[in-house]
Amino acid sequence: MRALRFLVLAAVVAGLTGCIGSEQENLQRWMAEQRAQVKPSVPPITEPKKFTPQAYSEGAAFDPFNMQKLTQALRRDSAQPSSSGLIAPELARRKEALEAFPLDSMAMVGSLSRNGQPVALISVDKLLYQVKVGNYLGLNYGLITRISETELGLREIVQDAAGEWIERVATLQLQERSK
């Protein structure tokens, strides 16, 4: 009985081994045919354009860094009225409490109406503040210009890279607290 099982198992293994070899030969033959049929086509690279250097002929022309020309440009610029005087922060006024905090540390948590005027509720450092149009907040001289149910609009005055004062619009969105 044991010998019979061994013979059956040997016959099955031999049969399976024969199947594997024929499929691999077919696969190898098919791969060789496909390689023979497909020829890669690579387009030839075009010749590079010939670079011809140009002679520098502006050596005797006007020097852009001429002191006389720079002096004239500075006089002309100083004679024109500067727009920086039109926009500037009010440095002489007393600062409000919310001007000590940056805008990103503030959160608008609600809005209401008092005497027909919109009022926004601002949370800073776990304290609640009421602000209205005309109040200031933030580090950049932010004047509150409008208050709606969902956001508060500000006009900030900041210095650009050249040192000129420019206006920038910012908003605080209503923040919903997650419980």
- Dist CA 146 CA 97 (whole Å): 19
- Dist CA 171 CA 53 (whole Å): 55
Give residues with Cβ within 8 angstroms of 141, minimum separation 6.
Answer: 89, 90, 99, 156, 157, 158
**pLDDT averaged over the chain?**
84
Q: In the structure encoding, which two tokens stand for residue 38, read together? A: 């497909």
- Per-residue pLDDT of 96-132, as tens digits, reads 999 999 999 999 999 999 999 999 999 999 999 999 9
Overall average pLDDT of the 149-155 stretch = 94
Q: Which of 126, 95, 124, 97 is nearest to 108 (CA)?
A: 124
What pLDDT was estimated at residue 54? Answer: 85
Which helix or strand (DSSP H or E) is residue 78 part of?
Answer: helix 67-79
Instruction: Answer yes or no: is pLDDT of 4 > 90.
Output: no
The rounded percent of the chain whose pLDDT value lies above 70 is 87
Whole-structure pTM value: 0.52
Q: In the structure encoding, which two tokens stand for residue 173, read together? A: 């969105």
Please report, for residues 40, 42, 49, 50, 53, the alpha-carbon distance to residue 46 in angstroms, rounded to integers and kept in the order given. Answer: 18, 12, 9, 12, 21
CB 125 within 8 A of CB 118: no
pLDDT band for position 87 (50/70/90)? confident
